[in-house]
Structures are given as structure tokens and as C-alpha cells.
Amino acid sequence: MSGSMFLRAGRSALNILRPKPFGLHHTSLTKLRASGAIPSLNAVRTKVSAVNSPYPQTSQSNDVFLQGSTAGYVDEMYQAWLKDPNSVHLSWQVYFRNMQAGVNPLEAFQPPPTLVHITTGIGAGLTPSSQTFNVTDHMKVQLIVRAYQVRGHQIAQLDPLGIMHADLDPSIPSELDPSYYGFTERDLDRVFTLGPGILPGFMESTPKMTLREIVEHCKKTYCKTIGIEYIHIVDRVQCDWIRSRMEIEKPFDYSKEEKHMILDRLIWSDSFERFVATKYPNEKRFGLEGCESLIPGMKALVSHMK
């Protein structure tokens, strides 16, 4: 059973993020909708309202993580759960275990009573409702991290000279604001456990972080002087490769001499382009606009291979 099957079983009508899907094919979804395998939004709402669940219904859907755009991510969580159930957050453990047990997909996300220990004293306040909210909030944090992976490059600092009239879009995507997911200023100091969907590169040194710290690390990774756009890549292995080298606790830092060498090679590449344009003005050629870093990169590759 793959993550896409879980997705199709409990797919939500909400559409928070829209990165290019990894493993969910449009043709397959169209056929499933036509056959009735995926219920319509109205049918889902009607069925949800008719379910006699022991847990109180909320105004917001709890399965906001089940979207076509997150099929690859759900599959990633499922594969990690198959290898080691403890490697994913409790919310994923409950969801996958319920689905394999044949629980109604609309109720699979509800934590089963066996996982909720209502005791006296310190544990007296732990109820199914509060447990559900904790799991839902953890899912929302995963969506925040995903939003920075998808849209963080849109607010990267790409104006090093501070030219205010540069043709840059000043708007900030709403998905990057925790309040978009219902978090308040007080929630920024809540502690969340890191995992496969929340900065896994930080897990060894810092297994838990506050929401404020998670957002700050996302900003440092995706919204600084380098804009990273890679979620649209179809090959998930390539996406994970890029992510594992960007979401790290201590980013690579060049020495002063290395920076001078990179600058020298950039100047060399630009000067060579100007020379060719002056020497052969009537010949057809292609400029380096946007690819100036290609030559320093190739020279670094050659030096590394030596």
C-alpha cells in the first residue's frame, strides 16, 4: 500500500500549497473521480457530519495534509513508518495504523482511545480532543516547513545593492505566515518534535524546537541571499538530495581566500565574454547572462577531480 492510496482514501478538498506533485498522476485521479472512488466535496462533508464520532467536530478539517500536492510527501512518511514506526511523529503512526486496520478514512486521523490515557493528577487534562489538536498542530508545522520549501525563494534577498526600485515582487506569500494556519503569537513558543517532515537535518543535535525557532531556521535556509527552488523536480531522490544539503545546522562557509578566488573567476568569465563580443562582433554567439557562475563551477569541478 502506498502513500498515494492513503491520499486517495482520505483526500481533503482544501488546497493550501500547490507544488508539482511527485507521484500522483492527473489521469488516475480523473478516472477515480469518475468511478466514484474519490467522493465529491459535498459528499465528504455530508458523510463527516453523519459520522457519530466520540470526538467533537471542529470548524476546520483535520486532514489538511491530504492533498494532491503532498502525495510524494505522504508516501515518504509511509515508507519511513514501514521501516521504523518510531521514526515518524505519533500523528503519522496513528493514521497509518488506523488505515491498515480498515478504519473509515474520514476517521483514520482521529487518535484511537487506546492511545489516549486519561488518568488523574498530571494526565487528567489529556483528552481525545486535546490530543487531536496536538496532532493537528504538528501537521500544520509540517505544512509551514513545506511552504518555505515551495515558496521561500520568492522572498529571498536578491538585491545586494539595496536598489529599492529593482523589479522584485515585494509581496510575501501568506503560506509563510504561521497565522495562516491558525497559530497565534503565543504559539510561537510551543515546542514541537522534529522529524522527517520538520527539519530532519537538525534532529541529531536538537530533537525539539519551538515554532519560532523552526520558522527562523526555514527563513535562514530558504529566504537569505540564495533562492532555492527545487520542489517542482519530478525525481524525489533529487529533491531529497538538495534538501539534505540545504537543511543543515551549519551551512558551508567559504574562507576569505576562497571568496577571492570565486570573485576572480567570475570576473574572468565576464571579461572573456566581453572579449569575444569585441573580437567577433559579426559572429553568432551566445552570452553568459544568467550563467556567469557556470565557469567558476566548472573550474572548481576540474580542480576537485584533480
User: What pLDDT is recorded for position 30?
Assistant: 46
- What are the residue ranges spanned by the domains of the chain? 3-123, 131-246, 258-305
Q: Around 48, how many Cα atoms within 13 Å sit in the side-chain half-sphere?
A: 26
DSSP structure string for 111-139: PPGGG----SGGGGG--HHHHHHHHHHHH
CB neighbour burial string for 34-73, b if at least 16 within 10 angstroms, e if fewer: eeeebbeeeebeeeeeeeeeebeeeeebbbbbbbbbbbbb
The pLDDT tens digits of the residues spanning 225-255 come to: 888 899 999 998 999 899 998 998 887 788 8
Fold held by 131-246: Helix Hairpins (1.10.287)
Answer whether residue 149 shows pLDDT above 50: yes
pLDDT band at 81 (very low <50, low <70, confident <90, very high): confident
In sequence order, the 6+-apart residues with CB closer than 8 A to the CB of 188 are: 178, 210, 211, 212, 215
Mean pLDDT of 93-102: 81
Distance in angstroms (rounded) separating the CA atoms of residues 145 and 151: 10
User: What pLDDT is recorded for position 115?
Assistant: 40
Distance in angstroms (rounded) separating the CA atoms of residues 245 and 224: 15
pTM, 2 dp:
0.55
3-state secondary structure of 195: strand
The pLDDT tens digits of the residues spanning 176-225 come to: 999 999 999 999 999 998 888 898 888 888 889 999 999 999 999 999 88
Contact 225, 158 (CB under 8 A): yes
pLDDT band at 289 (very low <50, low <70, confident <90, very high): confident
Q: What is the mean pLDDT of the chain?
A: 73
